C-alpha cells in the first residue's frame, strides 16, 4: 500500500466516524458492490458522485438490503453506506461485501429473536441502522478491528459464522 492510498484510507475512516462530511468533500465517487447471501442478488454502483448521494442508487441499495423473508423494503441510513466504503478503503480492499442481514421487519426480527438469544428484541436492523457483512479480501477479524477503531457504533464479531455486525447505535462491542 503506498502512502497516498494509506492517507486516503485514514481520511475516509475519519470522515465516516464524523458522520460523513469530511469524506463527502474528499472522495468524489463512492462505490459499493453488494451480494445478498440469501437471494444471490448482486449490485455494484456509485452511490455518491460529485458531492451528492444518488437517489436511484440508494433505492437499489435499499431494495437489495430488504427483508428477504417478507420482501419489505426500508430506508437504510446513509451513514452505513459511508461506513462500508470507509472500511474498505481503510482495509485497502475494493468495497465488495457479502450481506448476511440488512433490514429486518418486526415480524422477521421477532421470529429470529424467538429462535436465538443472539438476536436483540429491538434490533437496529429494524430501523435501517445495522448490517451484518463480510468484506471480500479482508478477514472478518480485521474488519471487526477496523470498525472498532472508528467508534462509530456497535460492532459484533461472529467468528464461528464469519461475519461482522455493524450498527449506528451506541459504541459497544461483543463477540457472538
User: What is residue 120's predicted lDDT score, i.e. its pLDDT?
Assistant: 86
Compute the distance between CA of residue 38 and CA of residue 34 in angstroms, rounded to an integer. Answer: 12
Which residue range(s) make up the domain with 82?
Answer: 3-175
Q: Per the structure block, which three cell numbers stand in for 55?
A: 437517489
Q: What local confidence, expressed as pLDDT, does residue 11 receive?
A: 52
Handedness of CA 28, 96, 107, 121 (dihedral sign): negative
pLDDT, one tens digit per residue, over 6-36 is 345 545 555 544 455 454 455 589 999 999 9
Question: Which residue stretches of the chain have pLDDT < 50?
Answer: 1-7, 10, 16-18, 21, 23-24
Q: What is the pLDDT of residue 53?
A: 97
- Name the grid cell of 45: 454502483
Residue 60 in grid coordinates = 437499489
Give dist(CA 8, CA 13) in Å, integer.
9
Split into its structural domains, the chain has a count of 1
What pLDDT was estimated at residue 5?
Answer: 45
Predicted pLDDT at 6: 39
Amino acid at each position: 500500500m503506498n502512502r497516498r492510498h494509506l492517507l486516503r484510507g485514514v481520511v475516509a475512516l475519519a470522515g465516516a466516524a464524523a458522520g460523513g462530511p469530511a469524506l463527502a468533500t474528499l472522495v468524489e465517487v463512492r462505490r459499493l458492490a453488494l451480494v445478498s447471501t440469501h437471494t444471490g442478488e448482486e449490485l455494484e454502483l456509485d452511490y455518491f458522485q460529485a458531492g451528492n448521494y444518488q437517489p436511484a442508487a440508494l433505492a437499489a441499495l435499499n431494495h437489495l438490503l430488504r427483508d428477504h423473508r417478507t420482501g419489505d423494503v426500508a430506508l437504510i441510513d446513509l451513514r452505513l453506506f459511508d461506513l462500508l466504503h470507509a472500511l474498505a478503503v481503510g482495509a485497502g480492499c475494493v468495497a465488495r461485501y457479502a450481506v448476511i442481514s440488512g433490514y429486518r421487519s418486526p415480524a422477521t426480527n421477532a421470529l429470529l429473536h424467538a429462535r436465538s438469544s443472539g438476536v436483540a428484541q429491538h434490533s437496529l436492523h429494524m430501523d435501517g441502522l445495522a448490517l451484518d457483512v463480510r468484506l471480500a479480501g479482508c478477514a472478518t477479524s480485521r474488519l471487526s478491528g477496523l470498525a472498532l477503531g472508528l467508534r462509530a457504533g456497535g460492532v459484533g464479531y461472529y467468528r464461528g459464522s464469519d461475519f461482522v455486525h455493524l450498527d449506528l447505535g451506541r459504541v459497544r462491542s461483543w463477540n457472538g
